[in-house]
């Protein structure tokens, strides 16, 4: 294999890493500016209704960056009290598709079929607006509280 042939895969990998980094940086800025305030407001509203929410900081995991708001679907119960009974709304970045994915996770009741996790919505970063997140959170809340029996 020639030196030029060996450099092509290296150059392609570098371009891919640069594109992923660019997407992650744009996603992180979008989350901090538009998503985090909505999640914090949602958590505040949950708390005023007697739930004990937790908002996870934006972090990078092997499958991409994400943030979440979590709560136990029983008023006054803390995360950890119910041995895994936690509802979560996640916003994840997917560099491969260039999309943000809004996930709902709920129905962790003992004896149930396990967690329902679904992509509620896939949007471009431009479509990831406070209004979009608020609408998805409203739908998530209705589904997650409905699943808690």
Q: What is the pLDDT of residues 60-90, one digit of tens each?
A: 888 889 999 999 888 888 887 766 678 899 9
Q: Are 97 and 56 in contact (CB under 8 A)?
A: no
- In this prediction, residue 65 carries a pLDDT of 92
Spatial separation of the C-alpha atoms in residues 120 and 92, rounded to whole Å: 12
SS3 54: strand
Q: Structure pTM?
A: 0.83
Spatial separation of the C-alpha atoms in residues 137 and 19, rounded to whole Å: 29
Q: Give the strand pairing for 99-106 and 54-61.
A: unpaired
What value does the mean pLDDT take over residues 41-46?
Answer: 96
Q: How far is C-alpha 35 from the chain's CA centre? A: 10
- In this prediction, residue 92 carries a pLDDT of 94
Task: Give the residue numbers spanning the domain of 103.
Answer: 3-147
- In this prediction, residue 13 carries a pLDDT of 87
Q: Across all residues in the chain, what is the average pLDDT?
A: 85
Domains: count for the chain: 1
């Amino acid at each position: 294999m020639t030196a030029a042939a060996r450099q092509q895969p290296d150059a392609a990998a570098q371009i891919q890493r640069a594109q992923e980094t660019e997407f992650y940086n744009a996603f992180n800025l979008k989350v901090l500016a538009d998503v985090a305030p909505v999640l914090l407001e949602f958590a505040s509203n949950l708390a005023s209704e007697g739930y004990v929410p937790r908002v996870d900081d934006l972090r990078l995991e092997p499958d991409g960056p994400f943030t979440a708001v979590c709560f136990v679907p029983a008023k006054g119960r803390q995360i950890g009290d119910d041995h895994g009974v936690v509802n979560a709304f996640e916003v994840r970045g997917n560099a491969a598709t260039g999309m943000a994915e809004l996930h709902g996770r709920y129905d962790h009741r003992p004896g149930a079929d396990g967690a329902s996790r679904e992509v509620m919505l896939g949007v471009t970063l431009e479509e990831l607006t406070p209004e979009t997140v608020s609408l998805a959170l409203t739908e998530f809340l209705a589904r997650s509280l409905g699943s808690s029996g």
